[in-house]
Structure 1
Amino acid sequence: MGIRGWLVVALLLALTACVRGDEPVAPAPGSPSRAQVEQLLASVRVIAERPHPGGYERGCDPGQACVFGASWTDDHDGPGGHDGCDTRNNVLAGQLTDVAFRPGTRDCVVVSGTLDDLYSGRRLPFTKAKAREIQVDHVYALAAAWDMGASAWPAERRVAFANDVDLELLATDAAVNQSKRDSTPAGWLPPARANHCFYAGRYLTVAVHYDLPITAADNAVLADLARGCP
């Protein structure tokens, strides 16, 4: 998407926020410095282009490959796994403020709260009645991870990756998440420019932690972002 396209997306998101009455939020706390992002860039593997090995199928219906396991499963050994609560609710409980839970669910099912959305830069209300307005993004998109090497991982590692509440998952506005799809940084950046350093740091942290590469185009974009970090 060119510069004009990004401006249009940003304007539409801003107009939507005004209509809904969302409040702007401050830049993400603890955003990495230029030196920290550059250190991550020096640690990550870089490849020329994104390969396309085929075989990616997220669905888990009968006959489907279910390559990253059932969505938001609690059956994994990563953070939040086997705690009696699904991953989506773990993310909401951890990333929303003023959280209220459904009685009788042992503080699992989130029914309301407030999200400081790091992608849109807006403060968004969450209610169970309108739960679809808040989605959970995989920072390093699952389809991209599959193409970049996760297709060779054991199934257990893929499931743990898809449900990593510490590094890989961020709650965000549904429209913003859908605009990202399975893009990498060369094709998509958060509309909130103030959080680009945060996003660069988080994306690279996931890549380094799971030994996933980035493309040369991603590297160029992230290096450019790093130069703008404090």
Structure 2
Amino acid sequence: MNLEEWRTQLSELRNNIDSAISCNLIKDKRSPIYIIKIEADNAVNQILKKQLSYKVDDRFCLIRGPVQLDCNAMRSIYVGDDDGYGRIRGQQKYSQSRSMIRFKIEKTRSPQALFFGITTSNANLDQRLWSDPATIGWCGDNSIWVHGYHDDIKSQSVDDRFQFGDILQLTLNCDRNQIELYNERTDKTHIQCVDLKETPFPWHFLVGLFSNGDCVTIV
């Protein structure tokens, strides 16, 4: 590379860096040709740390119905005969901040019947999944269950329905009294507000499995 090409690329790099508030340009003047090092500024570092802190170390805990957990309680499998939901509540309790759990649909014969959402600590898991007022979340057929009521999500695209291999990020935003579900494949986020009278703190995540062999893991 000749000197003129190097100067041109350096000028382009300066423009890119100057337009990005997340980077600082540091030159090492001890070198005949400046060595360029890019560092994130303190404000961006704080944002990144905050975002990373959202991922929590949770696992499956309380189960109802024909469900088996692996030895680490990170994988849940439906072992019934498609005669009703298997319900699995998370171990951790959530009452503040914004926390995220990632799930992967490892195997399923009926992705449209899978459920991801939350419940409260004193909820009766022996009730039907959809009839419990403390339950709020999403089914794989583009529908939602909100405190005992069923509704459809506006988007009815087939691609938006849960599929085998999907990775879903369930975020419990206690500070805003809402939950969020982000599908990494579709790059879409759905948000639901939570009525604290129906689903008071502390919250637990809740997963529903329906068909024999359905398998969901925490990743």
Give the shorter-chain TM-score range: under 0.3
Give the structure with the larger helix fraction.
1
**TM-score (norm. length: structure 1):** 0.20
Give the structure with the larger strand fraction.
2
Specify the structure having the higher radius of gyration (Cα). Answer: 2
**TM-score (norm. length: structure 2):** 0.21
Larger relative contact order (Cα-Cα within 8 Å, sequence gap ≥ 6): 1
